[in-house]
């Protein structure tokens, strides 16, 4: 099958899924499709509806199931490295910093992540736990749609710099059995057992179990990083055609695991700072989601989505239990010959209990929050098949800042079948999280005051913390040069306001915990603004019928400025230095023969200058080289031999400068994988 991951070709994922649904199999040779067909394939995450590429005024990248298989990745974060404009850096064995277009950190608070439309963005740290929630079988992913740039008009607050929507396969596409077994020096042992079938005509199911055990990485001194982890997961999906116009999807999973990390704790109020301590964290997650789709006609359809998620993380310093309920409704309707409208409403309820410790806590320990929203978006064909204008807005109410308004306007122009130009202006918001408003973090004893009284430095959340705001300007161009080369360019300028800073407060005396001490407070404020700009280039070159090259390059820079009233000299340099100015990649797929393929990928990342409150670290530039050999001796059996990070024995990708945990060095690794379908 031809490669289909960049520029025009990378939008073939939905087309492949549609082909499969019509019974033509899981793959199709894209070289048999002309450029008009490729421009008419559809994506869903940009507008909450199926939308032709020629009408999509957004920087969107689709990772297909074939891309995932060829990547040799064993987890979703490593799969996302192929997306230009995404910042992906592994912190330790089970933790990543992932963002789009800057602002990268362990909990990147401006990136919205979903599974089949279910939001997995946590309301505590304003980020994603990539370890527990997102480590389901890669073989069950139909495609991953990645939007770089704001998506707040349809997805709401927190879809500021990007949206990732992971779409799993329908149960009808996974009939039969599957057994996966793998082992290596880091991914030591793991596997998947899965079976799918038909309950009755029109109703299909699949059930699976997955287990893995991953070894420790190296700490900053080259010793055991104590960050190995293991996890057991089980889940199901059922798809049913209730009638000719109604379909129902129900899926769920349950996870249990244990992971290690070298964290930092404050043993007492008189300690001069954090001490490193090896911790073992028990974690668990359970979720249930249901989607009912109803078709009124070819011009009108609705969708009703319900999901419930329970997350539990027994961190010794900050144990958390959280329940989240989401309900969403949307209606898609074509008005006349030139208008296509989608509108909807949503409700989110989340409640938590975070017990905390001397090191870190939330005040209060338990809280409940609600979000109400409604959105409207209209796509207008100014010139049919050539020029499209899309305008939309979202009105959202949260318990922190009340009502917020997120509009956007987008223009897509396709003068002919080989060229497409688009531009967009959007407003997006990052709503406050529990951490922003309720955090209590004791940092350490900074000396003694009058009378020898200890002075404890403490960071507080701010109950009056406001939304962080973005006005984004984007421009993009897609083109095909002949039948073998395609190019996609996206440029952006982002104007931010109300960004987070850490400001000093008025000292006060405190007797508990003992001994009596003076607290030197710091508090979160919204006293920083700034701008980011960048260029993202991706290409796809089919050198021969058997060899495909996919190069890419990203340039991005951030410039942060504090308000005159701010005393924060740390946060701006940290934000600027946490992302590389330059990243480049080239991926190669070569069919040696019908049953044997060679894949290779090199990722170059320029240096990081991670300047934070607890460290000042420069992370050298590094290159990741992955090589994989795939052999299919029989129709139902696939053998893979994969080497990762082959150029160096170990390297550092990110320093967790905020002090939550110690970073690890990523090791050279390899594994063997066997997949048997029956």
Look at 7-21, 346-360, 515-529, 649-663 and tell me which has the smallest mean pLDDT.
7-21
pLDDT at 140 over 70: yes
Each residue of 501-525: pLDDT tens digit? 999 999 999 999 999 999 999 999 9
Residue 22 has pLDDT above 60, yes or no: no
What does the pLDDT read at residue 39? 59
262 φ, ψ to 5°?
Answer: -95, 95
Which residue pairs, CB below 8 angstroms and at least 24 apart, start in 186-191? 186/214, 186/215, 186/217, 186/667, 186/669, 186/671, 187/74, 187/212, 187/214, 187/669, 187/671, 188/213, 188/214, 188/215, 189/213, 190/74
Nearest Cα neighbor of 209 from 287, 137, 130 is 137
Q: What is the pLDDT of residue 9?
A: 33
Sheet holding 141-148, edge to edge: 59-64, 141-148, 162-168, 111-115, 118-119
Range scoring the smallest mean pLDDT among 2-16, 73-87, 459-473, 478-492: 2-16
State the average pLDDT over residues 610-628. 80
Q: What count of residues does the chain have?
A: 678
Q: What is the pLDDT of residues 471-503, one digit of tens each?
A: 999 999 999 888 889 999 999 999 999 999 999
DSSP state of 169: P
The predicted model gives 667-675 an average pLDDT of 97
Taking CA atoms, 148 is separated from 97, 230, 608, in Å, by 16, 32, 21
pLDDT for residue 2: 34
For residue 642, give both structure tokens: 């994969």
Write the pLDDT tens digit of every residue in 221-267: 899 999 999 999 999 999 999 999 999 999 999 999 999 988 889 99
The closest alpha carbon to 550, from 54, 60, 63, 43, belongs to 63
Which among 424, 434, 294, 431 has a CA at the least distance from the CA of 373? 431
In this prediction, residue 30 has a pLDDT band, given cuts at 50, 70 and 90, of very low
DSSP reduced 3-state for 506? coil
Tokens 């990649």 correspond to 585
Label residue 417 by pLDDT band (50, 70, 90): confident
Tokens of 145: 């749609």
Q: Judge: domain 7-677, CATH 2.40.170.20.
A: yes
Cis peptide before 515 (omega within 30 of 0): yes
Dihedral sign for Cα 76, 106, 231, 221, please. positive
**Domain range summary for the chain, segments of one domain joined by +:** 7-677
> Are 3 and 540 a contacting pair, CB within 8 Å?
yes
Question: Once rounded to an integer, what is the mean pLDDT over residues 61-82?
Answer: 94
Instruction: Report which secondary-structure segment, H or E, holds 18.
Output: helix 13-21
Check if the beta carbon of residue 87 is closer than 8 Å to that of residue 579. yes
pTM for this entry? 0.92
8 A C-beta contact, residue 288 and residue 311: no
| CA pair distance 233, 249, nearest whole angstrom | 20
Q: What band does 650 get if pLDDT is binned at 50, 70 and 90?
A: very high
Q: Cα(6)–Cα(553) distance, rounded to whole angstroms?
A: 12
Query: How far from the centroid of its chain's Cα atoms is residue 433's Cα?
Result: 18
- Cis bond upstream, residue 513 (ω within 30): yes
Q: How does pLDDT run across 540-594, given as a tens digit for each residue?
A: 999 999 999 999 999 999 999 999 999 999 899 889 999 999 999 999 999 999 8
Residues contacting residue 402 through CB under 8 Å, at least 6 positions apart:
none
Where residue 616 falls among pLDDT bands split at 50, 70, 90?
A: low
pLDDT at 24: 32
pLDDT level of residue 218 (50, 70, 90 thresholds): very high
For residue 46, the model assigns a pLDDT of: 79
| pLDDT grade for 533, boundaries at 50, 70 and 90 | very high
Cα 561 vs. chain centroid, distance in angstroms?
27
Asked if 214 contacts 202 with a C-beta cutoff of 8 angstroms, the reply is no
List, in sequence order, every residue forming a beta bridge with 444; answer none if it has no partner: 457
Q: How many CA atoms lie within 13 A of 199 on its CB side?
A: 12
Query: For residue 517, what is the enclosing H or E element?
Result: strand 517-542
CA dihedral 76, 82, 86, 89 (to 10 degrees): 60
**Short-list 220, 230, 221, CA closest to 186:** 230
- Give the burial class of 203: count Cβ atoms within 10 A of its Cβ; 0-12 exposed, 13-18 middle, 19 or more buried: middle
Buried b (16+ CB within 10 A) or exposed e, 520-542: bebbbbbbbbbebbbebbbbbbb
Q: Which residue has the higher pLDDT, 540 or 51?
A: 540
Among 129-133, 441-445, 588-592, which stretch is predicted with the lowest mean pLDDT?
129-133
| Average pLDDT over all residues of the chain | 90
For residue 127, the 8-state DSSP code is B
The torsion angles phi and psi of 543, rounded to 5 degrees, stand at -60, -50
**For position 658, what pLDDT does the model report?**
60
Residue-level pLDDT at 613: 53
What is the pLDDT at residue 615?
57
Tens of pLDDT, residue by residue over 295-325, are: 999 999 999 999 999 999 998 888 999 999 9
pLDDT at 6 over 50: no
Q: What is the average pLDDT across 53-61?
A: 84
Token readout for 175 is 């009939």
pLDDT at 28: 41
pLDDT value for 499? 97
Query: Average pLDDT of 454-465?
Result: 96
| Cβ 620 vs Cβ 607: under 8 Å | yes
pLDDT tens digit sequence for 273-286:
888 888 899 999 99
**DSSP string of 551-618?**
EEEEEEEEEEEE-TT----SHHHHHHHTS-SEEEEEEEEEEEETTEEEEEEEEEE--EEEE-SS-EEE
pLDDT in tens, 85-127: 999 999 999 999 999 999 998 888 999 999 999 999 888 888 8
Q: Do 355 and 365 meet the contact criterion of CB atoms below 8 Å apart?
A: yes
What is the rounded distance in angstroms from the CA atom of residue 288 to the CA atom of residue 255? 12
Block residue for tokens 């897509």: 412
**pLDDT the model gives residue 27:** 42
- The residues, ordered by sequence, that sit 6+ positions from 183 with a Cβ below 8 Å of its Cβ are 189, 190, 671, 672
**Omega into 364 within 30° of 0, i.e. cis?**
yes
DSSP line for 43-88: ESTTTTS-EEGGG--SEEEEEEHHHHHHHT-SSHHHHGGGSTTEEE
Whole-number pLDDT of residue 121: 84
Choice among 35-44, 173-182, 291-300 with the minimum mean pLDDT: 35-44
d(CA 629, CA 78): 18
- Whether the pLDDT of residue 659 is over 70: the answer is no
Q: Which tens digits make up the pLDDT trace of 364-401?
A: 999 999 999 999 999 999 999 899 999 999 999 999 99
Indicate the SS3 state at residue 177.
strand
pLDDT band at 38, cuts 50/70/90? low
Q: Is the pLDDT of residue 183 over 70?
A: yes
Q: Is the predicted pLDDT of residue 656 greater than 80, yes or no?
A: no
Helix and strand element counts for the chain (H, E) = 7, 39
Helix (H) or strand (E) holding 35: helix 35-39
Q: What is the Cβ-side half-sphere exposure of residue 492, based on CA atoms within 13 angstroms?
A: 33
């Amino acid at each position: 099958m031809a490669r289909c991951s960049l520029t025009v070709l990378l939008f073939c994922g939905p087309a492949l899924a549609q082909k499969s649904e019509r019974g033509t199999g899981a793959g199709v040779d894209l070289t048999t499709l002309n450029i008009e067909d490729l421009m008419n394939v559809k994506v869903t995450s940009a507008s909450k509806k199926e939308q032709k590429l020629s009408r999509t005024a957004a920087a969107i990248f689709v990772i297909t199931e074939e891309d995932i298989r060829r990547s040799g990745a064993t987890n979703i974060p490593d799969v996302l490295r192929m997306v230009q404009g995404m910042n992906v850096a592994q912190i330790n064995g089970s933790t990543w910093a992932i963002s789009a277009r800057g602002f990268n950190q362990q909990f990147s608070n401006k990136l919205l992540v979903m599974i089949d439309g279910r939001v997995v963005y946590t309301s505590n740290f304003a980020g994603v736990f990539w370890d527990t929630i997102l480590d389901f079988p890669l073989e069950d992913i139909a495609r991953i749609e990645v939007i770089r740039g704001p998506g707040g008009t349809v997805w709401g607050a927190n879809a500021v710099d990007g949206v990732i929507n992971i779409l799993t396969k329908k149960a009808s596409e996974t009939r039969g059995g599957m057994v996966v077994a793998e082992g290596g020096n880091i991914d030591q042992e793991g596997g998947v057992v899965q079976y799918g079938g038909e309950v009755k005509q029109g109703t299909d199911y699949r059930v699976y179990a997955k287990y893995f055990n991953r070894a420790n990485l190296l700490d900053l001194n080259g010793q055991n990083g104590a960050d190995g982890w293991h996890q057991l997961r089980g889940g199901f999906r059922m798809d049913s055609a209730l009638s000719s116009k109604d379909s129902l999807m129900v899926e769920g999973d349950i996870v249990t695991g244990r992971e290690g990390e070298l964290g930092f704790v404050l043993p007492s109020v008189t300690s001069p700072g954090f001490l490193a301590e090896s911790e073992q964290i028990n974690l668990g997650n359970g979720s249930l989601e249901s989607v009912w789709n109803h078709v009124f006609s070819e011009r009108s359809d609705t969708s009703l989505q319900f999901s419930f998620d329970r997350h539990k993380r027994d961190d010794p310093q900050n144990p958390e239990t959280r329940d989240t309920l989401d309900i969403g409704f949307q209606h898609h309707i074509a008005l006349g010959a030139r208008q296509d409208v989608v509108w909807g409403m949503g409700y989110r309820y989340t409640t938590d209990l975070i017990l905390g410790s001397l090191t870190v806590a939330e005040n209060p320990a338990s809280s409940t929050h609600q979000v109400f929203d409604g959105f409207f978006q209209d796509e207008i064909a100014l010139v049919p098949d050539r020029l499209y204008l899309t305008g939309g807005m979202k009105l959202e109410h949260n318990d922190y800042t009340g009502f917020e308004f997120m509009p956007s306007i987008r223009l897509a122009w396709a003068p002919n079948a080989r060229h497409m130009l688009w531009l967009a202006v959007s407003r997006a918001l990052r709503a406050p999280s529990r951490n922003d408003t309720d955090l209590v973090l004791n940092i350490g004893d900074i000396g003694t005051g009058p009378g020898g009284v200890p002075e404890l430095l403490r960071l507080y959340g701010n109950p009056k913390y406001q939304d962080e705001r973005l006005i984004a300007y984007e421009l993009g161009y897609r083109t095909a040069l002949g039948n073998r080369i395609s190019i996609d360019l996206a440029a952006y300028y982002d104007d931010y306001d109300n960004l987070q800073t850490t400001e000093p407060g008025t000292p006060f005396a405190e007797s508990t915990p003992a001994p009596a001490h003076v607290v030197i407070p710091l508090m979160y404020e919204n006293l920083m603004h700034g701008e980011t700009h960048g260029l993202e280039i991706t290409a796809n070159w089919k050198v021969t019928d058997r060899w495909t090259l996919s190069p890419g390059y990203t340039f991005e820079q951030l410039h942060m400025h504090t308000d005159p009233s701010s005393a924060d000299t740390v946060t701006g340099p940290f934000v600027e230095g946490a992302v590389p100015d330059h990243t480049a990649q080239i991926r190669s797929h070569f069919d040696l023969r019908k049953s044997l393929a060679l894949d290779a990928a090199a990722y170059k990342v320029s240096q990081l200058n991670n300047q934070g409150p607890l460290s000042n670290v420069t992370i050298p530039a590094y290159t990741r080289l992955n090589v994989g050999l795939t052999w299919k001796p029989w129709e139902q059996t696939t053998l893979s031999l994969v080497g990762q990070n082959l150029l160096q024995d170990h390297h550092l990708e990110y320093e967790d400068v905020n002090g939550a945990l110690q970073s690890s060095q990523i090791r050279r690794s390899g594994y063997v994988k066997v997949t048997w379908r029956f």
